[in-house]
């Protein structure tokens, strides 16, 4: 199956900045609904220097929290980025998940299954995984999924 992210956040430009937070486990349906409601509440109030940000966010695969800001309109400030980190940390506490283990990557195993691997395991195996180092929405739309270096 070919995954297509070309239409994610259609109102934001390819240059929009992206932050990715991978949970250490999948959220169940109740947790995902809770997280999505909290996310929408946060996004509706996310500001930089008192100005609303043109932003969006979602949770994909019951595990990947994605935030994006169109900085062509208003840049995310250090304080606004700090507020998003606080939001994700608090959400992790409320859900008892870890969104901040940067050594985890999500692998696309087959049509219906994803799995968390350590980054080192991913790059040394023949697996397809989501690139955790993307920084723009354009990269997410076009190059989020990559093959390991061994492929």
- Give residue-wise pLDDT tens across range 50-61: 999 999 999 999
Q: What is the pLDDT of residue 104?
A: 92
Whether the full predicted model's pTM is greater than 0.85, yes or no, is: yes
E-strand spans in the chain?
17-22, 47-48, 51-52, 55-60, 64-69, 104-110, 113-118, 128-130, 145-147
Neighbours of 44 (CB within 10 A): 9
Which DSSP category does 100 fall into? -
């Amino acid at each position: 199956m070919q995954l297509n992210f070309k239409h994610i956040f259609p109102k934001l430009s390819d240059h929009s900045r992206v932050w990715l937070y991978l949970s250490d486990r999948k959220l169940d349906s109740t947790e995902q609904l809770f997280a999505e409601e909290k996310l929408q509440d946060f996004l509706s109030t996310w500001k930089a220097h008192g100005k609303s940000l043109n932003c969006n966010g979602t949770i994909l695969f019951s595990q990947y929290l994605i935030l994006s800001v169109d900085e062509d309109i208003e840049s995310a400030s250090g304080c606004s980025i700090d507020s998003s980190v606080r939001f994700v940390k608090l959400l992790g506490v409320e859900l008892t998940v870890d969104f901040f283990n940067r050594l985890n990557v999500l692998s696309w195993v087959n049509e219906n299954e994803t799995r968390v691997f350590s980054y080192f395991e991913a790059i040394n195996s023949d697996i397809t995984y989501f690139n955790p180092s993307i920084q723009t929405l354009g990269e997410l739309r076009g190059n989020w999924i990559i093959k390991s270096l061994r492929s």
